[in-house]
Structure formats: structure tokens, C-alpha cells
């Protein structure tokens, strides 16, 4: 289990002020953040741009020292014993970092495998397996500078899995990938957690990806933890409302007027419209009122033609949180980060 305790990162940007009273200009990127990444689960780290996700991942991955707080990885203090931690972790980031353009795909994997001190015959086998998993066998001997963006990203994924990490950090891993490869990566990530018991920490701007993969998410806002829980609970926290729409045939002015009154009597604030004998009811609210609406428009000579129910999206929730009108104050995660959504 990875346990982050009161993690804080302050960047010093430079000195400001008159020469006789110069002060450091600082940027607090992460503030008093506590959370857990257990094995066998995909944990999400969410927040709008600049919320502190990448800074947090870098501290977990031994790439940045925290200003305050600590990270324990299976009991090992990451800042104090980075050399013990590195073989147990890996990072897959979006973009084109951490691969060498002049080397071929196979040579890149060989080089990084050496850095991980993986025994030669095991490394050879794993390199071939991973080249196949990410669909780069045919391009294995081509210099990476000739790869497309998607191919480079696939090589990053292979590099990230080379040491069979116990914990994997994925920072926007599907950025720039085409749909089939992104889907394959999601499947692989799920297998890593569920079948192989690996702990995964994922950041992504694709909310459907987060909803599909993550069991538990932490939401950051300006470096602070503001909510945590399953994606479903985060959506509920921000008071997101679903829109239910039902369309049926066999209606006229008089009957749709009665329908309006019936819905009011049922306590529903419904938007009822009529066009060419088709009535459409729209209701916005937290509850799923589909069965009530379907029953209300059904009857002899009438047919339900369409039923739509739009869930509030996780994206709406994150934006609402960033704008400060999502999470009621009492529900904001306490500093210590143990408040559940």
C-alpha cells in the first residue's frame, strides 16, 4: 500500500522585493495532501489544470522531494530510500518524454531494462512480450524518431511495464493514442490491478476513462484534497442532476394539459411539449423518474417512442468543484484526507 501523509510541495520561483528585503516568491503546488493507493485497485487523481496532480505523482515516483510530509510505499519512506523504491514502481506519462529518438524501440527497452538491473535473459523475453503487447513488433528495429506519436506512446507503455512494477503511476497515459490502442491500454490496466494485484494511480482528463477504470478517486483543487470516493459518489456530492426525457405518440392539446396537471400533482417540475401528436416530457432532478414518466404517458392508443436519461457527468462535478460551487463546505475532505465522499 502507498500511504501519502500530509504531502506538501512548495516551489521557489525566485526572489522578489527591494534588495534590502528580498523574499522568496513561492508557489504552493500541493498542500497537506493525504491519500492511499492500495494494491489491486486503480485509484484516480483528478482536478483541473494546475491542481497538483503531476507534482503529486512525481513525489510518489521519487522524482521530486516533498517540502513537507512523507510517502510510505509498503512501509518504505520514498524520500529517504529512493533506491529501494525505484525497482517497485514505474511511471507512464503521456507525451514523448523518456525515450531516445536515435535508438530503436527494442534498444530503448533494452537500455531501460538495464537501468532496472533486469537479468539479461528475462529482459530479452520481457522486451519481446511487451513489444507484442503494444503492437510494435514490426517497428522494433526502427529508430524511435521515425515513430508516430501513438507509436512513441505505446513504447512508453512498454517501458513502464518493463520492471513488472508493484505500483504503476499513469499520468495521462492515453493522451494522443488512437481509440483501439487506448482501449487495449485500459484493458491492460484493469488486468494489472484486478488479476495481478498491482496498485495503479491514474490521472486523466478523459472522465469516461476514469469512470470506467477507477474504484476510488481523489479530487484536488489548487493543491488541496477537496473530495474523495467512488466516481459515482463524487458526482452525487456536487448535486449533479440527471435529465430524463420521455416521448410518446397519441396526444393532443387537451390530454397533454391533463398530463401537465398530473405531473404537478405528483410533485414533478416537468417541461411538457406537444408537436404533431407527440408529447415530450423533460424532468431535471437527482432521482431517476423514468418509470413514473413512462407510466404517465402510456395508455390505450398511445406508444412510448423514446426514453432518454442523461446522468450528470464526472466532468461536470470536477468543474463544479474547481469553480467552488460543487462540494458543500462540510463535505470537503478534511485535511488529513480521510473524509469519505
Count interface residues toward ligand ATP (CB under 6 A): 12
Stretch that binds ligand ATP, among 48-56, 70-78, 149-157, 258-266 (CB under 6 A): 48-56
All three cell numbers of 293: 414518466
- Nearer to ligand ATP by C-beta: 113 or 160? 160
DSSP state of 62: T
- Nearer to ligand ATP by C-beta: 48 or 292? 48
- Measured between alpha carbons, how far is 92 from 90 in angstroms, rounded to an integer? 7
All three cell numbers of 37: 493507493
Asked if 249 and 305 count as a contact pair (C-beta separation under 8 A), the reply is: yes
For ligand ATP, the binding residue among 4, 31, 53, 112 (CB under 6 A) is 53
The closest of 237, 286, 311, 285 to 46, measured between CA atoms, is: 237
Q: How far is the CB of 47 from ligand ATP (least distance, A)?
A: 5
Could you give the 3-state DSSP secondary structure of residue 71?
A: strand
Q: Is residue 317 part of the contact set for ligand ATP (CB under 6 A)?
A: no
- Nearer to ligand ATP by C-beta: 56 or 244? 56
- Nearer to ligand ATP by C-beta: 47 or 105? 47
Q: How far is CA 229 from CA 213, 217, 315, 334, 338, in A?
A: 14, 6, 15, 13, 10
Where in 6-35 is the site for ligand ATP (CB under 6 A)? Answer: 11, 13, 27, 29
Asked if 293 and 244 count as a contact pair (C-beta separation under 8 A), the reply is: yes
**Per DSSP, what are the bridge partners of residue 234?**
none
Mask for 224-243, x = binds ligand ATP (CB under 6 A): --------------------
Which strand (E) or helix (H) includes residue 305? strand 303-310
Stretch that binds ligand ATP, among 50-58, 104-112, 132-140, 329-337 (CB under 6 A): 50-58
- Nearer to ligand ATP by C-beta: 47 or 199? 47
Beta strand 167-171 with 89-93 is: parallel
Q: How far is CA 275 from CA 240, 256, 269, 284, in A?
A: 30, 11, 20, 21
Q: Is residue 204 part of the contact set for ligand ATP (CB under 6 A)?
A: no
Q: How far is the CB of 66 from ligand ATP (least distance, A)?
A: 13
- Nearer to ligand ATP by C-beta: 11 or 206? 11
- Nearer to ligand ATP by C-beta: 55 or 280? 55
Q: Is residue 54 part of the contact set for ligand ATP (CB under 6 A)?
A: yes
Stretch that binds ligand ATP, among 45-53, 110-118, 253-261, 317-325 (CB under 6 A): 45-53
Neighbours of 109 (CB within 10 A): 26
Contacts of 34 (CB under 8 A, 6+ apart): 3, 4, 5, 6, 7, 69, 225, 335, 336, 337, 338
For ligand ATP, the binding residue among 34, 35, 44, 52 (CB under 6 A) is 52
**Per DSSP, what are the bridge partners of residue 42?**
200
* Residue where the block lists cell 497537506: 32
Q: Is residue 66 part of the contact set for ligand ATP (CB under 6 A)?
A: no
Stretch that binds ligand ATP, among 31-39, 49-57, 102-110, 265-273 (CB under 6 A): 49-57
Under the rule (CB under 6 A), what is the footprint of ligand ATP?
Answer: 11, 13, 27, 29, 47, 49-55
Amino acid at each position: 500500500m502507498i500511504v501519502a501523509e500530509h504531502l506538501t510541495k512548495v516551489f521557489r520561483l525566485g526572489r522578489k522585493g527591494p534588495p534590502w528585503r528580498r523574499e522568496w516568491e513561492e508557489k504552493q503546488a500541493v498542500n497537506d495532501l493525504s491519500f492511499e493507493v492500495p494494491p489491486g485497485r486503480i485509484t484516480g487523481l483528478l482536478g483541473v489544470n494546475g491542481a497538483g496532480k503531476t507534482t503529486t505523482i512525481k513525489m510518489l515516483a521519487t522524482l521530486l522531494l516533498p517540502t513537507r510530509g512523507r510517502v510510505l510505499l509498503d512501509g518504505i519512506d520514498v524520500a529517504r530510500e529512493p533506491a529501494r523504491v525505484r525497482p517497485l514502481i514505474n511511471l507512464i506519462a503521456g507525451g514523448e518524454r523518456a525515450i531516445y529518438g536515435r535508438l530503436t524501440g527494442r534498444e530503448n527497452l533494452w537500455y531501460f531494462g538495464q537501468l532496472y538491473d533486469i537479468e539479461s535473459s528475462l529482459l530479452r523475453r520481457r522486451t519481446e512480450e511487451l513489444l507484442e503487447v503494444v503492437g510494435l513488433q514490426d517497428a522494433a528495429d526502427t529508430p524511435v524518431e521515425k515513430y508516430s506519436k501513438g507509436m512513441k506512446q505505446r513504447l512508453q507503455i512498454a517501458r513502464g511495464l518493463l520492471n513488472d512494477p508493484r505500483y504503476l503511476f499513469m499520468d495521462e497515459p492515453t493522451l494522443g493514442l488512437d481509440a483501439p490502442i487506448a482501449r487495449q491500454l485500459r484493458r491492460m490496466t484493469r488486468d494489472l490491478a484486478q488479476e495481478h494485484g498491482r496498485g495503479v494511480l491514474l490521472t486523466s482528463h478523459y472522465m469516461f476513462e476514469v469512470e470506467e477504470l477507477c474504484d476510488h478517486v481523489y479530487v484536488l483543487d489548487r493543491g488541496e484534497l477537496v473530495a474523495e470516493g467512488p466516481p459515482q459518489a463524487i458526482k452525487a456530492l456536487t448535486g449533479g442532476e440527471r435529465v430524463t426525457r420521455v416521448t410518446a405518440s397519441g396526444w393532443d392539446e387537451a390530454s397533454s394539459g391533463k398530463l401537465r396537471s398530473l405531473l404537478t400533482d405528483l410533485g414533478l417540475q416537468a417541461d411538457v411539449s406537444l408537436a404533431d401528436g407527440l408529447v415530450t416530457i423533460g424532468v431535471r432532478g437527482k432521482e431517476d423518474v423514468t418509470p413514473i414518466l413512462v407510466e404517465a404517458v402510456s395508455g390505450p392508443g398511445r406508444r412510448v417512442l423514446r426514453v432518454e436519461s442523461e446522468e450528470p457527468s464526472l466532468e461536470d462535478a470536477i468543474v463544479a468543484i474547481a469553480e467552488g460551487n460543487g462540494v458543500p463546505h462540510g463535505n470537503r475532505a478534511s485535511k488529513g484526507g480521510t473524509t469519505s465522499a
